[in-house]
Amino acid sequence: MSRPREKRETGEQDLFRSRLDQIINMKHELVRLAQAIDWPVLEERFGAVYSDGPGMPPLPTRLMAGLAILKHTFDLSDEELCARWMENPYFQYLCGEEFFRHELSFERSSMTRWRQRMGEERITALLQESLAVAVKSGAMKPADTRRVIVDTTVQPKNVMFPTDAKLVNRARERLVRLAKKAGLDLRQTYVRVGKLALIKHQRYAHAKQFKRANKALRKLKTYLGRTIRDISRRIAGQADLEASFKWPLYQASAVLEQRQRQRGRKIYSLHAHEVECIGKGKAHAPYEFGVKVSIATTLERSKGGQFALHAKALPGNPYDGHTLATVIPDMEKTIGNEIGRILADAGYRGHNAPESHKLRVFTAGQKRRVTPAIKRQMRRRSAVEPVIGHIKAEHRMGRNYLAGEQGDAINAILAAAGYNFSLLIKWFRLLLWLLITALQSRPRSSAA
């Protein structure tokens, strides 16, 4: 694939169209953010995935990176972002447009393909750029990144609550649908009786009549087992059908055999098999279904706010303390600075931090090596909690709609970057008001 044709400021005029810089407020916070971002650096990082060759050139990097920033800064879905982009000249200016456009210059699906093409490693450039803009604009000092607070949270996946009855019935429906598409004539599809058994199970479980509910669940499992065996007999010896049914049959068999409280991985969703069950000890949500994510923020609050320094998805639901071996080197690579002190909660006891950082990690309740100054700093450890809350509630980490493990990793990074860019927008707005106040309070010279 050839390289993208990057947007450049041309200064051209059009007789029938007005330039965006002539119809918008050039002191607006989004305009100042667009001017502060180092777009050539992003073009170099993201352009590394392309090579000079034949084919239609991809969309400009500034357009796609700008859309990713806007999506997670303002908590918009792809569809909402497309609608807002056509209405908002400031959105278009951030994405590199010179003239106001009344139609989309891209397809909505282009955003999905761009995220998948960039991957976790290159998407991190947006988080790094948000921190670079914060330093350049004075919202944060480089020294603020030397002392950090680390914590983990759960990034829930967009899946329904996984009950055994729902999973079993959904697995049967999926196999029946695939068999019909492949032209297989099954002995029985159990469409009517399967739906009836699911309704009965839900009603009995709601009424706490668990013997009757378990009887309906056994019926659902019987229907699924019969469907699995019927399909297996009919596709035997047909290599193409065996290949197409291999994964659905494996998932259906796993759902049929898995038991409550069993050890090891379980399937909680058929379309998102990477989902894990994670318990964080919350009274209102004992179990969450998604992936564990590590979030790091500065110890001291910067002038522009409490910036997020690092975000990383951790598949496999590892113990919090065992995440530092990968989180610390990755964090230092992201911020471009060596970490001098790391504060964490008691869940990080017995951590496996790199040897160079073992004595730099302090956990809640620790007694040894804790000086009075460190004790005072430990009171700031809970400052990471509102950062996590804002990222989840306002920047699309509260429910992840991106597919696969790669989608988990990308969404976590973009959510943290969106949170930082929202702080920068508030910072630029504050600077503007301070400038206006200073100008208004300046004494006027008396007329001669």
> What are the CA-CA distances from residue 280 to residues 10, 119, 389, 413 (Å)?
53, 28, 15, 21
Please check the confidence at residue 246 and state whether its pLDDT lies above 90: yes
Count how many Cα atoms sit within 13 Å of the Cα of residue 199 in the half-sphere of its side chain. Answer: 6
Confidence of residue 136 (pLDDT cuts 50, 70, 90): very high
Neighbours of 81 (CB within 10 A): 20
> What are the CA-CA distances from residue 174 to residues 69, 190, 245, 271, 291 (Å)?
37, 12, 11, 10, 25
> What are the CA-CA distances from residue 85 to residues 102, 295, 394 (Å)?
9, 30, 19
Query: pLDDT above 90 covers what percent of the chain?
Result: 66
Look up residue 397 and give its amino acid: M
Please check the confidence at residue 212 and state whether its pLDDT lies above 90: yes
Q: What pLDDT sits at residue 70?
A: 94
Confidence of residue 49 (pLDDT cuts 50, 70, 90): confident
Please check the confidence at residue 309 and state whether its pLDDT lies above 90: yes
Q: What pLDDT sits at residue 99?
A: 87
Please check the confidence at residue 327 and state whether its pLDDT lies above 90: yes
* 284 torsion bin: left (phi>0), alpha (psi -120 to 50), beta (else): alpha
- Asked if residue 220 lies in contact with residue 197, where contact means CB atoms within 8 angstroms, the answer is yes
Please check the confidence at residue 226 and state whether its pLDDT lies above 60: yes
Q: How far is CA 58 from the centre of its chain?
A: 24
Q: What pLDDT sits at residue 445?
A: 58
Q: Which residues pair with 294 in a beta bridge?
A: 152, 312
> What are the CA-CA distances from residue 254 to residues 173, 228, 266, 272, 403 (Å)?
15, 11, 8, 14, 21
Mean pLDDT for all residues in the chain: 89
* pTM to 2 decimal places: 0.88
Query: pLDDT above 70 covers what percent of the chain?
Result: 94
Rounded to whole angstroms, how far apart are CA atoms 122 and 425? 23
What pLDDT, in 10s, does the model give residues 180-209?
Answer: 999 999 999 999 999 999 999 999 999 999
Q: What pLDDT sits at residue 444?
A: 63
Rounded to whole angstroms, how far apart are CA atoms 169 and 227? 11
Q: What pLDDT sits at residue 380?
A: 92
Burial 264-298 (b: 16+ CB within 10 A, else e): eebbbbbebbbbbebeeeeeeeeebbbbbbbbbbb
Tokens (6 digits) for 137: 């604009």
Q: State mean pLDDT over 113-130.
A: 92
Rounded to whole angstroms, how far apart are CA atoms 123 and 113? 13
Confidence of residue 448 (pLDDT cuts 50, 70, 90): very low
Q: What pLDDT sits at residue 15?
A: 64
Rounded to whole angstroms, how far apart are CA atoms 109 and 91? 19
Confidence of residue 418 (pLDDT cuts 50, 70, 90): very high
Cβ-in-10-Å burial (0-12, 13-18, 19+) of 168 comes to buried
Q: State mean pLDDT over 282-307.
A: 91
Q: What pLDDT sits at residue 439?
A: 65
Q: What pLDDT sits at residue 436?
A: 65
Please check the confidence at residue 298 and state whether its pLDDT lies above 90: yes
- Pairing mode, if any, of strands 288-298 and 276-278? antiparallel
Q: What pLDDT sits at residue 1?
A: 57
Residue by residue, what is the 3-state secondary structure of 18-83? CEHHHHCCCCCHHHHHHHHCCHHHHHHHHHCCCCCCCCCCCCCHHHHHHHHHHHHHCCCCHHHHHH
Helices 61-73, 108-136: inter-axial angle, 10-degree rounding: 80
Rounded to whole angstroms, how far apart are CA atoms 269 and 171? 10
Return the CA Rg of the chain.
27
Rounded to whole angstroms, how far apart are CA atoms 417 and 126? 6
- Where are the extended beta strands (E) located within 329-441? 341-344, 361-363
Q: What pLDDT sits at residue 292?
A: 94
Q: What pLDDT sits at residue 48?
A: 82
